Structure 1
Amino acid sequence: MSAVLDKNGVPQTEGDGPRGLARLAYAFTGWAEKWFPDAFVFVILTLFAVVLGDLAIGASPLAIAKGFGDGFWSLIPFTMQMAMVAIAGYVVAASPPCTRLIDRLAAVPKTGRGAIAFVAFVSMIASLFNWALSLVLGGLLVRALARRANLKMDYRAAGAAAYLGLGATWALGLSSSSAMLQANPASLPKSISEISGVIPLSDTIFLPQSILMCVIIMACTIAVAYFSAPSGSTVKTAQDMGCDVSADAKVEEKAGRPGDWFEFSPVLPILVVLLAAGFIWTEFQAKSPLNVISNLNTYNFVFLMIGLLLHRNIRSFLKAVAKAVPTTAGVLIQFPFYGAIAAILTHVTGSDGVSISHHISELFVSIANGSTFPVVIGIYSAILGFLVPSGGGKWIIEAPYVLQAAKDLHAHMGWAVQVYNAAEALPNLINPFWMLPLLGVLGLRARDIVGFCFTQLIFNAPLVMFLLWGLALTL
């Protein structure tokens, strides 16, 4: 029997209906789907909030307008780099070898709950290398598991597990746009570099405390995914949800004319990859491994070359790229505005000769000390992350005053970046913005998986804050 939904989208039938935390999450998502505007609206609202703040401290309207224009194109290199992260991750995940790997991975779990925990593990591991790869790989793995007739797996919980890379760990690995930005002097805005300088990856994602935090979060998140998964009569399979999970038909294309040979031959991709391999070899010969992988251009270069090699021909590679490009729309249009906001925050001064960024950093210094700073900043970043769902863009807004406050309090600058990273992932768990690519793969709606994501948030939020505070004491 189909459940009757109330005005918030909460199933009203008894028995298998959501209860407790899941019911609250369904109510929240129902409200969000009705009232929550597009993420770009929040970018504009943030812009005008900063403008009003500048006016309040006595800044000139013309000075504000100049800051807006001067900063608008300041992030073009970083914008392109983040777009390429998404494209490269999608291209690799959609390659034929990766598809075959997914089919093999889908044969590993033996139980429905075990399958959900396994999806959570794969999603989080993949997110450490590329957040877009995590979403696509996780979604395709869930579909492959759902095709197993002998596996009774809750499709909603599995979908939520596939999202955990974005909701728990992505910013603690090489996907971290803030850590990568801080390690790249060529991409680092002057407004940030003047405060912190370059912060190497050895002081952020490869800090021992950061690695330990990541392992603990992963272990606890997998456990919650396993024990919160429905069992018995409460399981809703893909068929119960009306989702088509049949494998995509594989149409083998062949060259139809002599000129098509170049598009279908593996010769050109192999030659390109050999040339790329030579470049990577020279990079490792001239630089330390950390310096090589911390360069976003090199990182994206390697992923693209891997994708080209895995697709084996130019036609398949370009089809994957064409499918990946729409996922970058939010990055391309939002990041210029983030650059403008950062410029207004840091370069426009009021009647007292200081910027809003300076005033905010003074506020943090006044309410925090060296030990409470991680929790204060963590809570603030998590709340703001729901309104501005962009790890890299939001860091550019926050970094000037967060890093200034860390500097004034003599806190570890690299850990300040990791505080942001760990807290940044939390609002993703209940924000429909980043769910959209995954939901498209699964054929689900946000309300179908957010109940399980909200359960993760209830456990992860206090855990993350405790780890940010406790591990900071060891630095």
Structure 2
Amino acid sequence: MFKRFTNGCVRVVNRWLPDPFLFAIILTIIVFIGVMVGTQQGPLEVVWAWGGRGGTGDGFWGLLSFSMQMALVLVLGSAMASAQACKRALAAIATLAKDKKSAIMVTTFVSTICCWLNWGFGLIAGALLARAVARRVKDVDYPLLIASAYSGFVIWHAGLSGSIPLQIGAQGGTEILGVNYYAGTMDTIFHPVNLGMVIVILLLMPLVNYAMHPDAAHTIVVDPALLVDEAEKEYKIDTPADRIEHSRILWVITLVLGFFYIVYYFVQKGFNLDLNIVNMIFLFLGILLHGDLRKYVDAIADAASGAAGILLQFPFYAGIMGLMVAQNPETDVSLAGIIANFFTNISDEITFPVLTFLSAGLINFFVPSGGGQWAVQAPIVMPAATEMGIEYGRSAMAIAWGDQWTNMIQPFWALPALGIAGLSARNIMGYLVIVTIFTGVVACGGFLIWGAFF
């Protein structure tokens, strides 16, 4: 019964899921119409909000700064994962996979841990691990293996590179409608309930993924010839310029400077994470692991192609975000407000974060960005949390969990892993429907416990 349902999801997704960029275009049209109907604004007012109202910093170009941060998370994490030291470590981990069951479970478990540490690193490391596992276990279903690698991404926003907890935990908090809101990482990322939900998913999701493995007649295996890694690039050092590029002295000086700042940052700020310091850590870890500045430059160049989806699609999602928050000047009504207020008005202090989580999951289809999600929902959720006496950390993490939850069936963030795997979103999304249902149950239960006992 379970596998029939999974196979049905796979068939539906393969038939109906468009390319992620077309998905963004279709969502733009849907939201455009929804704004006109829901807020009673005319098409000219709506298109003005979509484009950014003539350069006011919102709308189509409203996520440029955050887009750069997210692109760096992906590129820096990818470059680090491509280091030979990381590849050797992943190859060693792949030896733990002896059969189909262990192949799926090891890939899921390790990719989840990596995504919690850094989502860009986890996306690439998980895909590379899946390829290494597929080389060893010939009869494992390859699309499910890649889906298992991507499924670890479902906890990224509860981890060390989560944009929402890092924004609200930044020095001085974050300003929303003229009010500063602050919740430290001990109240968000390292809160016992948040960690508990992560651990439940870490331990149970490998079993869920293996339960979806198709029978032999429906298993799709990969041609081993497609999994051969390119040989490591060899460098000739013939000229003074070559010797400068491969200079160990410059490499050491760069590392000393970077890690000295990182240590001094934590001495001055305490364990206070934000996106910039997280990116700096992964930047200098990447330089360290590559062992050579020229090699790292080339690794960044290779990884940058993986950010193409961000560069192309983020302006459209910023435009959608501008549509979602566009208010009718006479009634102050926005489409995001309509959706979020629906859940807010039917909740209490226990159920409010659960319903915030559900509404965030819905809005994430239209704004698949942690920063965009925060921009859309925080102006509604955080003032309501103040009024209801709900701690800011729990409210912020409800948005964060909703954002990461439906990423499983929003293909945008799967692009880097799919590129490495040589698959399309259609090949894996059917399996990820099941992951979405499972993690949704865990998150709802976790937020009810958080409200009732903490």
Band the TM-score falls in, shorter-chain normalisation: 0.7 to 0.9
Whether 1:252 aligns to 2:234 is yes
Q: Residue 449 of structure 1: CA displacement?
A: 2.4
Whether 1:105 aligns to 2:93 is yes
Q: 1:341-360 counterparts in 2 under 5 A?
A: 350-352=329-331
Q: Relative to structure 1, is the Cα distance of residues 46 and 204 closer, same or farther in structure 2, using a 3 angstrom cutoff?
A: farther
State how far apart, in whole Å, the 2-side matches of 1:47 and 1:184 are.
Answer: 32
Q: Relative to structure 1, is the Cα distance of residues 180 and 46 closer, same or farther in structure 2, using a 3 angstrom cutoff?
A: farther
1:404-433 Cα deviation digits (max 9, x unpaired): 332332222211121122222232222332
Among residues 194, 201, 204, which one is paired with 2:188 in the alignment?
A: 204
Corresponding residue number in structure 2 for 1:91: 79
Q: Relative to structure 1, is the Cα distance of residues 222 and 58 closer, same or farther in structure 2, using a 3 angstrom cutoff?
A: same
Q: Residue 19 of structure 1: CA displacement?
A: 5.0
Corresponding residue number in structure 1 for 2:155: 169
State how far apart, in whole Å, the 1-side matches of 2:164 and 2:390 are.
Answer: 18
Q: Residue 400 of structure 1: CA displacement?
A: 1.3
Whether 1:179 aligns to 2:165 is yes
Whether 1:417 aligns to 2:401 is no
State how far apart, in whole Å, the 1-side matches of 2:204 and 2:334 are.
Answer: 41
Q: 1:370-385 counterparts in 2 under 5 A?
A: 370-385=349-364
Report the secondary structure of 1:38's partner residue: helix
State how far apart, in whole Å, the 1-side matches of 2:42 and 2:371 are.
Answer: 29
State how far apart, in whole Å, the 2-side matches of 1:48 and 1:184 are.
Answer: 33
Corresponding residue number in structure 1 for 2:407: 428
Among residues 431, 435, 445, which one is paired with 1:466 in the alignment?
A: 445
Letter in 1 for 2:183: I
Among residues 433, 436, 439, which one is paired with 1:454 in the alignment?
A: 433
Among residues 373, 379, 402, which one is paired with 2:381 in the alignment?
A: 402
Q: More deviation in 393-402 or 354-363?
A: 354-363
Q: Relative to structure 1, is the Cα distance of residues 66 and 307 closer, same or farther in structure 2, using a 3 angstrom cutoff?
A: closer
State how far apart, in whole Å, the 1-side matches of 2:215 and 2:12 are.
Answer: 24
Whether 1:439 aligns to 2:387 is no
Q: 1:266-345 counterparts in 2 under 5 A?
A: 266-289=248-271, 291=272, 294-332=273-311, 335=314
Q: Relative to structure 1, is the Cα distance of residues 236 and 158 closer, same or farther in structure 2, using a 3 angstrom cutoff?
A: same
The TM-score with structure 2 as length reference comes to: 0.87
- 5+ residue gaps, structure 2, are none
Does the CA-based 8 Å contact 2:6-2:212 persist in structure 1? no
State how far apart, in whole Å, the 2-side matches of 1:56 and 1:323 are.
Answer: 47
Q: Relative to structure 1, is the Cα distance of residues 142 and 335 closer, same or farther in structure 2, using a 3 angstrom cutoff?
A: closer
Q: Residue 98 of structure 1: CA displacement?
A: 0.7
Corresponding residue number in structure 2 for 1:213: 197
Q: Residue 67 of structure 1: CA displacement?
A: 5.2
Letter in 2 for 1:380: S
Q: Residue 301 of structure 1: CA displacement?
A: 0.8
Q: Relative to structure 1, is the Cα distance of residues 107 and 214 closer, same or farther in structure 2, using a 3 angstrom cutoff?
A: same
State how far apart, in whole Å, the 2-side matches of 1:122 and 1:23 are.
Answer: 25
Two-structure CA RMSD over aligned residues (Å): 3.2
Q: Relative to structure 1, is the Cα distance of residues 32 and 171 closer, same or farther in structure 2, using a 3 angstrom cutoff?
A: farther
State how far apart, in whole Å, the 2-side matches of 1:47 and 1:452 are.
Answer: 27
Whether 1:159 aligns to 2:143 is no
Q: Residue 90 of structure 1: CA displacement?
A: 0.7
1:212-269 Cα deviation digits (max 9, x unpaired): 1111122221221233334666544323xx7611122223222232321112233212
State how far apart, in whole Å, the 2-side matches of 1:409 and 1:395 are.
Answer: 19
Letter in 2 for 1:155: Y
- 5+ residue gaps, structure 1, are 1-17
Whether 1:148 aligns to 2:136 is yes
Q: More deviation in 267-276 or 22-31?
A: 22-31
Does the CA-based 8 Å contact 1:78-1:187 persist in structure 2? no
Report the secondary structure of 1:69's partner residue: coil
Q: Residue 333 of structure 1: CA displacement?
A: 5.2
State how far apart, in whole Å, the 1-side matches of 2:172 and 2:64 are.
Answer: 11
Among residues 29, 32, 54, which one is paired with 2:16 in the alignment?
A: 32
Q: Relative to structure 1, is the Cα distance of residues 341 and 33 closer, same or farther in structure 2, using a 3 angstrom cutoff?
A: closer
Report the secondary structure of 2:55's partner residue: helix
Does the CA-based 8 Å contact 1:308-1:314 persist in structure 2? yes
Q: Percent identity?
A: 30
Q: Residue 211 of structure 1: CA displacement?
A: 0.7
Q: Relative to structure 1, is the Cα distance of residues 185 and 69 closer, same or farther in structure 2, using a 3 angstrom cutoff?
A: farther
Corresponding residue number in structure 2 for 1:227: 211
State how far apart, in whole Å, the 1-side matches of 2:173 and 2:312 are.
Answer: 18
State how far apart, in whole Å, the 1-side matches of 2:402 and 2:74 are.
Answer: 21
Q: Residue 193 of structure 1: CA displacement?
A: 6.1
State how far apart, in whole Å, the 1-side matches of 2:426 and 2:325 are.
Answer: 39
Does the CA-based 8 Å contact 1:338-1:397 persist in structure 2? no
Does the CA-based 8 Å contact 1:120-1:222 persist in structure 2? yes
Q: Relative to structure 1, is the Cα distance of residues 346 and 229 closer, same or farther in structure 2, using a 3 angstrom cutoff?
A: closer
Corresponding residue number in structure 2 for 1:23: 7
Corresponding residue number in structure 1 for 2:243: 261
State how far apart, in whole Å, the 1-side matches of 2:131 and 2:198 are.
Answer: 27
State how far apart, in whole Å, the 1-side matches of 2:349 and 2:196 are.
Answer: 21
